[in-house]
Amino acid sequence: MDKKQKTLNETTVKLRKLAFFPPFIILIVFVTVSIWNQETFLGIINTINNWIIGNLGWAASVLALVIVIVLVWAAFSDFGKVRIGGKDAKPELSTFHWFTIVLCTTMAAGILFWGPGEPIAPFLYPPTELYDIEAKSPQAMKFAMETMFLHWTVVPYAIYTLPSIVFAFMYYNAKKPFSIASEVSPLLGERVYRKKWMQVIDAITLFSISCGMAGSVAQAFMNISGGISNLIGIPSNAKLWLIVGIVLGVTVVCSAISGIQRGLKMLSNVNVIGFGIFLLFLLVMSNASFLFNLSTESLGGFAGTFIERILITGKSVGSQWPQWWTTFYWFSWMSWAPTSGAFMGQIAKGRTVKEMISMYVVVCATISGLWMVIVSGTALWVNHAGLADLTSAYEVGVENVPYAMLSGLSGGTMVIPLFVILIFLSTVTACDSNAIVMAGISTNGISPDSPESPKWLKIVWTAIAMGVGYVMIASVGVDGVKIIANFGGMFAALIIAAAAGSLIVLIKRHKKYDITE
């Protein structure tokens, strides 16, 4: 975009007040109440969270399975051959840059926070009431790896991909507005483009993704602070989290206002190189035979129990384990999905629907699975071999696990700075893409020819997400990450369900909407 075009865009876009102010005010009140009366704040959020996971977990599980089924249908249907932007449309990003941006904006800091730490949780505290697995046993180790595959491969990428396909087709092929309403309009009809309806849908989305971003940055605050504490010995506490949050927020804003083609592309390329170096180090310094044998065995268990595990709620035996882990993940992915879907759809111009599914679900989910094989497998091996006590590190705080793992490997302490940098860059990349989309759906005037939104809106939404994330971990700790994700996911699930229905409509009648043919 040249300077003249950018200036024109800044002057023509207008704030959509109904979309912007309700979520903005709710989140400001959220932060204010937490500061004013923490006891009241904790009582309210815990009551709401317990209701969500106790009453709506089943719906999130069913929806996750439906999404996977609908995407498989789409890939093998005639709709899978449709090119985003029309049959003559050309991609604006190379396949490599498309891959790196998508991988980094979806994997984010979560794989760095939970990749080493999460498998220790089911190893140390398996749901014995559900599967009769003894803590710290070989069966618990296998169950831990199966859980990593469930939470971090096919299902999350399917949840991201479904709305991205609907948005891309409706935005580029049907020439509909840059609005989350475009993700649901095939099912709900043209009424969703009425001014108030469209803004209500976008307001729900802005609240959801603010919660999703808050949960992600909260993980990053803790993880980066844990690394700093490990390197220079200062305590990882609320004060350090605040400093890290300010630095992260400034960096996100600087990247977001530089646009997709500059800051985001550069950060993603650097990130992928860093990921590769980190994985290679772990593969060489750990026990590759152990990793691949355990993962192969666990992959069989994951595939064989996929439907059972994706749908389990724990209600029959009174277990809350699926609610605090699997349900948390489904809601967490859903809280990101409407805006991540819009972003992933926006950069998919020139690709076919089948290519989108192949890149997003097959390639990216495979890379995420490989990450868990090496990173989660290394954590389990380090603990199993007695090189470091990761169970004790987990008891102190999940953010301590990756550093204990690295300290147990030969030369691992030298890699800790790289790990901290990767967390930082991954968080910036993920928040960058969402800040761009959030600012976009807060305004009128965004179009394929004028895709950049006002800089001040990117700053506002970044600050809100950072503030809420800090409040949750400062008040509740790591469980605050799960609580805020559940809040956002509950509302986002309504949009994702409508997007699933919309994709079914497009599979059957996409020619009705495609005005590029």
Backbone angles phi, psi at 491, to 5 degrees: -75, -40
Tell me which residue of 405, 413, 411 sits closest to 389, measured CA to CA.
405
Residue 264: what pLDDT?
64
pLDDT in tens, 438-480: 888 888 766 666 556 777 888 888 888 888 888 888 877 777 7
Mean pLDDT of 381-404: 92
Write down the residue that tokens 């079914």 correspond to.
Answer: 504
Written as one string, the DSSP assignment of 341-373 is HHHHHHTTTT-BHHHHHIIIIIIHHHHHHHHII
Enter the tokens of residue 225. 């602070």
Q: Residue 6 pLDDT > 50, yes or no? A: no
Residue 7: what pLDDT?
43
Residue pair 78/360 in contact (Cβ under 8 Å)? The answer is no
Q: Residue 30 pLDDT > 90, yes or no? A: no
Confidence of residue 301 (pLDDT cuts 50, 70, 90): very high
pTM of the model: 0.87
pLDDT in tens, 38-88: 777 778 877 888 888 888 889 999 999 999 999 999 999 999 999 999 999
| Three-class secondary structure of residue 119 per DSSP | coil
Write down the residue that tokens 């097959």 correspond to.
Answer: 362
pLDDT in tens, 371-389: 999 999 999 999 999 999 9
Distance CA 26, CA 157 (A): 29
Confidence of residue 256 (pLDDT cuts 50, 70, 90): low
Mean pLDDT of 110-126: 90
Residue pair 74/357 in contact (Cβ under 8 Å)? The answer is yes
Mean pLDDT of 246-274: 74
Count of CA atoms in the C-beta half-sphere (13 A) of 164: 33
Confidence of residue 9 (pLDDT cuts 50, 70, 90): very low
pLDDT in tens, 488-505: 888 889 999 999 999 999
